[in-house]
Amino acid sequence: MITGASSGIGRQFARQVAGSGIHVVLVARRENLLEDLGHELANDFHVRYRVVAVDLSVRDSMEGLVERTKDLDIGLVVSNAGTGNPGEFLKIELQTLETLLRLNALAHLQIAHFFGRKLTQRRKGGLMLVGAMGAETGVPCMANDGAAKAYVHSLGQGLHVELNPLGISVTVLAPGFTDTPVLAKFGFNPRTIPVKPMNADQGVAVGSGLCRRTDP
């Protein structure tokens, strides 16, 4: 299961995991993009897919995700959904900050808790939390975004130790400067900035290699 699968890093995870012959659950807000991706994966890699259109920034959204996946034996979870909202902290509406915090931190907590329990029942599997490089340092004009990802990093590091004896491999992927749709929110043009961003498939190649070694 890959959240945030409709674009960027999540889409690349879906392709590389499916390329290993693993059936996929594709989770994101935009159902049409997920369906297009699912057809692509089925044609390219002969895997089955399921689309779950859900907005993880909305309260109680996990209920729909749980209901739509309760019949599946999921052995690998990539919790990737998230976005950025750069700007001066005091000029951003509190409701906007809270919505982003639910998506960038609370959704990872809920996914790790619910699917972590399912994985431990299998006694094997993998959980990957996608964070962001530099999250722990605090970045001006991205204070809320960085703080949320710092939570994800800390959560994953703790669960790595807790769940390993139960047969679950927990990994935190902290991608560097990556060419994804989020760059546009930050005002970057990948073609004009002096430091060329990494392609999403480059960063995901490392992460999907770790995923495969969990033997889902």
What is the block-wise mean pLDDT of the chain (216 residues), using blocks of 10 residues?
Answer: 94 94 97 98 98 96 96 97 91 96 97 97 96 82 92 97 97 71 53 53 56 47
Please, where are the H alpha helices in the chain? 8-18, 31-45, 62-69, 94-101, 107-122, 143-163, 182-185, 200-212
Q: How many residues does the chain have?
A: 216
Residues in contact with 209: Cβ distance below 8 Å, sequence separation at least 6, in sequence order: none
> Residue 183's domain is classified under what CATH number?
3.40.50.720
φ, ψ of residue 88 to 5 degrees: the values are -65, 130
Question: 27 with 1: CB under 8 angstroms?
Answer: yes
Q: What is the pLDDT of residue 52?
A: 98
Q: Total domain count for the chain?
A: 1
């690998």: which residue's tokens? 76
Residue 25 lies in domain: 2-212
| Rounded Cα distance, 172 and 214, in Å | 14
Distances (CA, A) of 213 to 40, 78, 124: 24, 14, 11
Q: What is the pLDDT of residue 137?
A: 82
State how far Cα 8 lies from the chain centre: 10
